[in-house]
Copies of this chain bind each other. A is one copy, B any other.
């Protein structure tokens, strides 16, 4: 056994090869990171996803897989899709408020309205 095994190889109780697909993205000092993706996607699927990507994209892919796995562990029914739903709702509310306020401005800034308001002040 290699004493400097990555978190994935430690978790899988195997030797960490020098060209380990997991090692650069799952360092041994953060074992939970691999435990999450292993529980949700399985080591083999994570390895396949990383292997199929150019090396420069693998770090981001490992990060987003961890994020998704964490979301699914936290919320086994909705996972990351629950966050997408919440954000879509918040965006709908913000866009509705924006549209309402813009429509109100269009009315309010009509010269006739401004004149009317100021005459009340005189």
Category for how many chain A residues contact B: 35 or more
Instruction: Spell out A's residues near B (CB within 8 Å).
Output: 39-42, 44-45, 49, 52-53, 57, 60-61, 63-65, 67-68, 72, 76-84, 87-88, 90-91, 94-95, 97-98, 101-102, 105, 108-109, 111, 114-115, 117-119, 121
Secondary structure class of chain A's binding surface, majority of residues:
helix
Provide the residues of chain B in CB contact with A39, threshold 8 Å: 45
Q: Is the CB of B87 within 8 A of A84?
A: yes
Q: Which residues of B contact A44 (CB under 8 A)?
A: 42
Give chain B residues whose Cβ lies under 8 Å from the Cβ of A102: 101
CA of A94 to CA of B77, assembled, Å: 29
